[in-house]
Amino acid sequence: MKQNLIGGAWVDGPRTTRNINPSDTRDLIGEYALADAAQTQTAIAAAQDAFSSWSLSTPQQRFDALDAIGTEILARKAELGDLLAREEGKRLPEAIGEVGRAGNIFKFFAGEALRQAGEVLGSVRPGVGVEVTREPVGVVGLITPWNFPIAIPAWKIAPALAFGNTVVFKPAELVPGSAWALAEIISRSGVPAGAFNLVMGRGTEVGATMLEDKRVNAISFTGSVATGQRVAAACVSRFAKFQLEMGGKNPFVVLDDADLAVAVNCAVDSGYFSTGQRCTASSRVIVTEGIHDKFVAAVAERIKTLKVDDARKAGTDIGPVVDDRQLAQNLEYVQIGQAEGARLVAGGQAIPTNADGQPGYFMSPALFAETTPSMRINREEIFGPVVSVQKARNYEEALFMANDTPFGLASGIATTSLKHATHFKRHAQAGMVMVNLPTAGVDYHVPFGGRKGSSYGPREQGRYAAEFFTTVKTAYTQA
């Protein structure tokens, strides 16, 4: 059994959870300890105790630890990628790519530990000096989702540690394997006991305890809108800093002048790869009249060629969804779309077993056409391989439809018009905009985040991560 890491020691929990392979539900990956409220409080106390020393550690100490973590992750990329694909269902090349991204994130923030800067300014008063510096926030609670089980933890843990904070990390219950493997690497990196703690467990126990404990100075959360709202309310009530990354209903616009092959590739990648289980996925495609019919036909033909199979098998294009509840939700939305009058062009069926007889949570990628903006399949985040197409008269209507959503994470367009591309980049109401690229797929060294109901607080990743994980101090000195 894999244990939690609390105060530098590996400890059992009062309960355990079974980690099941969604590509083959007969395959038990392992059993993992579940922490309770009391153990979470112990982890918070350990992080608080460690803060005094880690917050005053040298930039070189933090660089060395984070660089060692990144180096080991990259060296074990194939092994860790196989584990990720096995427990989450992301096909193996994507899983290995995610692990590589996690390693690079730790390498980047190792450098940021050395690049921390401040300002020395002249005062408006004679003989007074002014210094502006950044200091760590304190004990940081990190709550991460199941769809990127090593990359999202990495982009929260790495900056937290780089800037001298201590960490209590709660991963999603569905993917304890990748979280535990990452914690085990961190435990040997030179980060002192208590500066990093892993508490696997239920949100109602572990997460709730982190939210309510006044010793936790900040919470960084990625997950559902409903849970994000609860995080915000709990943090506001005790004036804790918080950062939220939540849902998306990301549009991808295809204009008449688009290269059809580029548009189809972007839409298929954005909507179906990683089984559609990406917050940046485009499940809502808005296509202008002149290219609409050709686009729908081309996407329908393309997805019929996609192989749905075991995530770790060579040649697989789409793996399983993460569990039975997600599969049931996806299929329910297919029924909702049909009931609302949308035309199911292709897919949308459960596949109980693969060709080898493995029972898994497989589903054929679904494509809807003849949909309207008010349909639930165009308003609500499905988080599966379900894509709906809406027809627009022209660019102006397509832009309006793209922005007609309570979310604002990513937005994309396929066009060969510099005029429309430039206008869209400025007027798309999203935190990230892609032109002739899939909406899912971002770099690790630049800011990540959205607007409206998708995000709240400072951006994640890149140099902008310092905005959340540090606090600014202004010091005045009379010579």
pLDDT in tens, 64-105: 999 999 999 999 999 999 999 999 999 999 999 999 999 999
The pLDDT confidence band at residue 441, using thresholds 50, 70 and 90, is confident
**Phi-psi bin for 327: left (phi > 0), alpha (psi -120 to 50), beta?**
alpha
For residues 347 and 333, give the distance between their C-alpha atoms in angstroms, rounded to a whole number.
13
For residues 169 and 150, give the distance between their C-alpha atoms in angstroms, rounded to a whole number.
12
Q: Tokens 């300890």 — which residue?
A: 33
The pLDDT confidence band at residue 442, using thresholds 50, 70 and 90, is very high
266 is catalytic: no
For residues 23 and 276, give the distance between their C-alpha atoms in angstroms, rounded to a whole number.
16
For residues 25 and 359, give the distance between their C-alpha atoms in angstroms, rounded to a whole number.
6
Sheet containing 9-11: give its strands across: 9-11, 4-6, 196-198, 166-170, 139-143, 218-222, 241-245, 455-456
The pLDDT confidence band at residue 451, using thresholds 50, 70 and 90, is very high
235 is catalytic: no
For residues 386 and 364, give the distance between their C-alpha atoms in angstroms, rounded to a whole number.
9
Return the structure tokens found at 283: 């499940």
Mean local confidence (pLDDT), 42-64? 98
Residue-wise pLDDT for 208-220, tens only, equals 999 999 999 999 9
In order of 114, 285, 327, 355, the CA distances from 276 in angstroms are 37, 14, 12, 22
* Phi, then psi, of 236 in degrees rounded to 5: -60, -40
Catalytic residue (choose from 266, 279, 381, 460): 279
Residue 356 exposed, middle or buried by CB count within 10 Å (0-12, 13-18, 19+): exposed
Residue-wise pLDDT for 319-338, tens only, equals 999 999 999 999 999 999 99
The pLDDT confidence band at residue 479, using thresholds 50, 70 and 90, is confident
For 282-415, strand residue ranges (E) read: 284-288, 343-346, 350-353, 359-363, 366-371, 386-392, 407-408, 410-414
Lowest mean pLDDT segment, chosen from 7-11, 19-23, 136-140, 438-442? 438-442
Average pLDDT of the chain, as a whole number:
97
Asked if 183 and 169 count as a contact pair (C-beta separation under 8 A), the reply is yes
Mean local confidence (pLDDT), 224-252? 96
Q: Where are the alpha helices (DSSP H) in 89-199?
A: 92-115, 151-162, 176-187
> What length does the chain have?
479
For residues 36 and 203, give the distance between their C-alpha atoms in angstroms, rounded to a whole number.
10
Residue 124 exposed, middle or buried by CB count within 10 Å (0-12, 13-18, 19+): exposed
Residue 134 exposed, middle or buried by CB count within 10 Å (0-12, 13-18, 19+): middle
The pLDDT confidence band at residue 121, using thresholds 50, 70 and 90, is very high
Asked if 435 and 445 count as a contact pair (C-beta separation under 8 A), the reply is no
Return the structure tokens found at 32: 């993992």
The share of the chain scoring above pLDDT 70, in percent, equals 100
Asked if 360 and 310 count as a contact pair (C-beta separation under 8 A), the reply is yes
Confidence (pLDDT) at 218: 98
Mean local confidence (pLDDT), 400-424? 98
**Beta-sheet pairing, 218-222 with 241-245:** parallel
Catalytic residue (choose from 87, 98, 112, 245): 245
Q: Tokens 């579940």 — which residue?
A: 34
Confidence (pLDDT) at 119: 96
In order of 14, 177, 447, the CA distances from 33 in angstroms are 7, 11, 34
pTM: 0.96
